[in-house]
């Protein structure tokens, strides 16, 4: 049940993020996804009754200000990216709740089975007839093997030793790496308000953990 639940959450998060990144920039999507770290303490509170501290509340306000600056030209892609961040926060909180009570390898296997099955059902909605373009094979293999399989397997194993909030901080570095690689590989450029938003979001992530 835990594996299928996590798989379903990943399906929803991946879908909204993938549709969102079609409309907004990769850097925006990466940093908006990173805001999940501020959401995790509040979701963990709902699951474990561990109340977040004042620094978490302040960091949430700071994150909101950063998101406003980052999305001056707000569009549907930014909204979908933010919704994806919420769903990834739910995934981290549920993983933390399950850790120590289930076998990580079994959960990983069932999670990916659910992920594969549900995504396969969406294929007819996107491609009719279903033909994989040759140019898509290498990117799809990288995303499937490295980002999803290796990344999420390590996450489940490591969250037996690391609490959900600290795990969220480390995972939030996706925003930093995402914006750097989008500038290097895709040539994306950012205006001053967006850069200020990046800084505020990253500081809110640090504050939520360091107090």
Q: What is the 3-state secondary structure (H, E, C) of 50-114?
A: CCCCHHHHHHHHHHHHHHHHHCCCCCHHHHHHHHHHHHHHHHHHHHHHHECCECHHHHHHHHHHH
SS3 160: coil
**pLDDT at residue 87, rounded to an integer:** 94
Q: What's the chain's Rg over C-alpha atoms?
A: 17
**pLDDT at residue 128, rounded to an integer:** 65
Contact 99, 160 (CB under 8 A): yes
Tokens linked to 161 = 């030793």
Q: How far apart are CA 143 and CA 152, in angstroms?
A: 11
Q: What is the pLDDT along the chain (211 residues), one digit of tens a residue?
A: 888 999 999 999 988 998 999 898 888 888 788 788 788 888 888 887 778 778 877 887 888 888 788 776 778 999 999 999 999 999 988 888 887 788 878 888 898 899 888 888 877 777 666 777 788 889 889 988 998 889 888 888 888 887 776 777 777 777 778 878 888 888 888 778 878 888 888 888 778 767 6
* Positive or negative torsion for Cα 73, 77, 78, 79: positive
**pLDDT at residue 95, rounded to an integer:** 86
pTM of the predicted structure, to 2 decimals: 0.76
**pLDDT at residue 13, rounded to an integer:** 93
């Amino acid at each position: 049940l835990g594996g299928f639940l996590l798989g379903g959450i990943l399906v929803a998060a991946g879908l909204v993020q993938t549709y969102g990144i079609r409309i907004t920039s990769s850097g925006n999507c990466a940093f908006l996804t990173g805001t999940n770290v501020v959401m995790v303490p509040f979701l963990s509170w709902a699951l474990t009754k561990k109340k977040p501290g004042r620094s978490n509340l302040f960091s949430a306000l700071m994150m909101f200000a950063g998101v406003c600056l980052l999305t001056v030209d707000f569009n549907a892609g930014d909204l979908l990216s933010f919704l994806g961040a919420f769903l990834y926060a739910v995934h981290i909180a549920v993983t933390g709740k399950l850790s120590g009570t289930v076998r990580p390898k079994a959960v990983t296997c069932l999670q990916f089975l659910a992920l594969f099955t549900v995504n396969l059902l969406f294929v007819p909605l996107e491609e009719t007839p279903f033909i994989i373009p040759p140019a898509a094979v290498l990117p799809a293999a990288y995303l499937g093997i490295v980002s999803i399989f290796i990344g999420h397997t390590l996450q489940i194993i490591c969250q037996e030793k690391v609490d959900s909030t600290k795990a969220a901080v480390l995972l939030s570095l996706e925003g930093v790496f995402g914006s750097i690689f989008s500038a290097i590989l895709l040539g994306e450029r950012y205006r001053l308000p967006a850069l200020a938003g990046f800084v505020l979001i990253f500081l809110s992530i640090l504050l939520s953990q360091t107090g």
